[in-house]
Structure 1
Amino acid sequence: MTNEIKEILIYGHASGPNPWKVIMVLEELELPYKHKLLEMSEIKQEPYIHLNPNGRVPTIEDPNTGITLWESGAIIEYLIDTYDKERKLSIDTFPEKYHLKQFLYFQSSGQGPYYGQLAWFKAFHPEKIESAIARYEDQAIRVVAVLDKILQGKEYLVGNRITYADIAFVSWEVTIRKMIPDLDERAERLYPNYLAWFRRVSARPSVKRTLKLKSEAMA
């Protein structure tokens, strides 16, 4: 199948977690792609903002369908709908199909923004605002606790098998460990279901390949 498909172009930035979660899906589906790494200054300027007026990454251009698409959650849904004909990462039965979307939206509206704000206030904001750091660390841990509760007695989020819902969380989970260095230690005691799931999904070859590519891009 992949021999018939032209390379999908994905625009990203070395450190940003959102492009890498899309790349994990591309790797899982064994789709050919080219990753164009942009500098932060390029993301806010032409010609890139002609593709993505929001000035964020990722954006994809798919020559197989002619679509240009931004927002990582929408991109993942597109890749699944267009290319996951064998249901490697998806489930088409009711209600699982909608539970998958539920977790993708939770990742996009909950995990990503809270983790991102913690990273901003802890590592990048010019002033150290302890109340903001405390708020977003509390919210990050709340997300972990929610995942832990959902994963009670389960190996994966939906259908007890790997899906795009699980994959979507990984790149931000890797990133947050730089902001909360003792997260695994805390999770061993308080959130064991979450920790086992994170380690299980992180051990997948597609995830390992993607994280290696990220490490090389940041070197």
Structure 2
Amino acid sequence: MPHGKQFTLYTNSLWINGWAVVFVLNRLGLSYDCHQIDKTTVNGPEYLKYNPNGRIPTLVDHKNNDFAIWESAAIVLYLVDRYDPNHQISVTNPDEKATMIQWLFFQAAGQGPYYGQAGHFLYYHSEKVPSAIERYQNETRRVLGVLESVLSKQEFLVGGKLTVADIIFVHCNIMLEPLLGAEFNFEKEFPATFAWHSKVTASDGVKEGLEERQKAWSA
């Protein structure tokens, strides 16, 4: 294998989407190099050969013939399918696996886009559009409400233990105050989800990834 580490993770430490992959790689003890992608290279031919969507993250597995996979949920599912033989953060029961995948889809199709649009209209759109801001802040709270409805009855989302279904929500939920304002009280409004989020962020692999993120964002 010509590479020093098993994986190359194409990401940008200042953008949030790659962190879910970092958390899972850390948790599974897998070695990786982070290759930083920016706005000038994300649509360049060298990157598009791995990811035709021109977004981050993308993971290249040098142990598997330089297999490249993109989309955070697909990447973490690939990692546990191939590199979590003891099911440390995955499940074996077919119904539970379907539920785990369901939550990965909900994060990718629900949490990620709604939180992302809330951030866009709050901070990056060329003009303030109050109705758009209100819509996506309301959708952000709705996603939290879905989580709360389940987590008020159980400790984790599937299998009675920490899995990638839980881990994949962290990188967006740490952005709640910027999205919902300083007056937002996560613990008060969504107590079960807050307790779950606190457990997941303190878990092995996630904790180290968040410390790495803090260093990157403080630099």
Q: TM-score, normalised by structure 1?
A: 0.93
Q: How has the CA–CA distance of structure 1 residues 53 and 145 changed in structure 2, closer, same or farther, with 3 Å as cutoff?
A: same
SS in 2 for 1:177: helix
Give the corresponding residue for 1:82.
82
SS in 2 for 1:16: coil
Give the corresponding residue for 2:18.
19
Q: Percent identity?
A: 37
SS in 2 for 1:61: strand
Give the corresponding residue for 1:106.
106
Moved runs in structure 1, 4+ residues, more than 3 A? Answer: 181-184
Aligned-pair distance for 1:193?
A: 0.7
Counterparts in 2 of 1:23-34, with a 5 A limit?
Answer: 23-34=22-33
Q: How has the CA–CA distance of structure 1 residues 68 and 183 changed in structure 2, closer, same or farther, with 3 Å as cutoff?
A: farther
Residue-pair matches, total? 214
Aligned-pair distance for 1:201?
A: 0.7
The letter of the residue matching 1:122 is L
Where in structure 2 are there 5+ consecutive unaligned residues?
Answer: none
The letter of the residue matching 1:112 is G
User: Which deviates further from its counterpart, 128-137 or 187-196?
Assistant: 187-196
Aligned-pair distance for 1:206?
A: 1.4
Q: How big is each residue's C-alpha offset from its partner over 1:191-216, in whole Å with a ceiling of 9 and x where there is no partner?
A: 11111111111111311211121222
SS in 1 for 2:176: helix
Q: Distance in 2 between matches of 1:205 and 1:196?
A: 16
Q: Distance in 1 between matches of 2:93 and 2:120?
A: 39
Counterparts in 2 of 1:168-183, with a 5 A limit?
Answer: 168-182=168-182
Q: TM-score, normalised by structure 2?
A: 0.93
Q: Distance in 2 between matches of 1:98 and 1:133?
A: 33
- Across the aligned residues of Structure 1 and Structure 2, the Cα RMSD in angstroms comes to 1.5
Aligned-pair distance for 1:37?
A: 1.4
